[in-house]
Amino acid sequence: MYPKMPGRARRSAAGQVTLSDVAAHVGVSSITVSRALRTPEKVSEALRARIEEAVQTLGYRPNHAARALASARSHTVVVLVPSLANEVFVDTLSGIYETLHPKGYQILIGNTRYNTEEEERLLSAYLAHNPDGILITGFDHTPAVEAQLANSRCPVVHMMELDERKERLCVGFSQFECGKAMTRHLLDKGYTRIGFMAVQGDARTLKRWEGYRAAMQEAGLYDETREIYVPDSSSVGLGAQLTAQLLERAPDLDALFCCNDDLAYGALFHCQRQQISVPGRLAIGGFNDLAASAWTVPSLTSIATPRHEIGQRAATMFLQQLDGQIAPGTAYDVGFELVARESS
């Protein structure tokens, strides 16, 4: 048996320097130290200096749990995203972090893995932290999650999509219009046998898919045999495999709209390997405009989504609701941009 960890013997163990330790050191009451730390302007300058010094020398560290318990504010915000292996959500998180960190908020990241049940479990667990706010991806949740959000007594901001019911705080863009925009771009370029590749089947993917369908139907060119879908999670390899499958089934395809850039890279690689010229024989469009999309050969036509801004905005909207500075049901549309490159 090796040395156990401190055992956390009991009673925070020897270690912890507390507010009253600092207070004793300075010769004031602990509440004064508390004030000197949180609202320095309410403490006389002389005292403040002595307190700060004592904090330094004693190495005092505030105790988050005690603060949360006493103040009923955890300074914690829960963020639920479907994936971390996706540049999109990493960028969103960094926007959130940048905005919330300076305000003293901790972020509790929940990775739902594109699974609403997992989301439910995560939310339940995280609610025990009494978050001051919840930033959640999309509107597609289990009834239990909806109920928890409603009862959470803290601001909830939905990210990535816009609420058609205009009842919930949200920031995002129209996934449907994105799907339409890319499809129209391909139609405008003269392609007529345009396929669609989808995976994962989350709500946002499905909306893009609807956008594709709407545009194809409007053009009188819709043909469901040019669509391919599997529920698996997205990857470059899967993109390559599905491209092969789809081309077998619909050999006359002249363009392919992939529901995200990873799949599109896979499509590109497949074509390269099979000597299928892009865009000569097959045009390819992606979605999200990941950092690498400008560098592939040929470079990838995609739709740029301002996810970093979505993160910043979602965090800001949370702060605003905390202060009553925002109307309930506010929907913030960040828009999107089609980036035409060599692959189309």
202 to 261, contacts with a second copy by CB under 8 A?
235-237, 240
**Which has the closest alpha carbon to 211: 255, 162, 176, 260?**
176
Rounded CA gap, 172 and 113, in Å?
20
**39 near 68, Cβ under 8 Å?**
no
Nearer to a second copy, 119 or 132 (CB): 132
Q: Residue 266: name its binding partner from DNA, a second copy, none (Cβ under 5 to 8 Å by kind).
A: a second copy
Q: What six digits make up the tokens of 17? A: 């320097």
Please say whether the beta carbons of 133 and 290 come within 8 A. no
Among residues 27, 39, 72, 220, the one that binds a second copy under rule CB under 8 A: 72
The reply to whether 129 sits near a second copy by the rule CB under 8 A is yes
- What is the smallest separation between the CB atom of 101 and a second copy, expressed in angstroms? 9
CA separation for the pair 224, 226 (Å, rounded): 5
Question: Which residue's CB is nearer to a second copy, number 154 or number 282?
Answer: 154
Q: Is the dihedral of CA 248, 254, 258, 261 positive or negative?
A: positive
**Number of residues lying near a second copy (CB under 8 A):** 71
Q: Does 277 bind a second copy (CB under 8 A)?
A: no
* Site residues (vs DNA, CB under 7 A): 9-12, 16, 18-20, 28-32, 34-35, 37-38, 41-44, 46-47, 60-63, 66-67, 69-73
Per-residue binder mask for a second copy (CB under 8 A), 292-331, x = binder: x-xxxx-----------------------xxxxxxxx---
Span interacting with a second copy, options 9-17, 19-27, 194-202, 333-341, rule CB under 8 A: 9-17
Instruction: Give 67's contacts (C-beta < 8 A, 6+ positions apart).
Output: 75
- Cβ 40 to DNA, closest distance in Å? 10
Residue from the set 31, 49, 84, 219 that interacts with a second copy by CB under 8 A: 84
Terminal C-alpha separation, the chain: 65
Judged by beta carbon distances under 5 to 8 A according to partner kind, the member of a second copy, DNA, none in contact with residue 32 is DNA
**CA-wise closest residue to 50 among 80, 24, 18, 72:** 24
**Is residue 82 a contact point for a second copy (CB under 8 A)?**
no
Rule CB under 8 A: say whether 31 interacts with a second copy. Answer: no
Helix (H) or strand (E) holding 79: strand 76-81
Taking the C-alpha atoms of residue 162 and residue 333, their distance in angstroms, rounded to an integer, is 7
Q: How many residues does the chain have?
A: 344
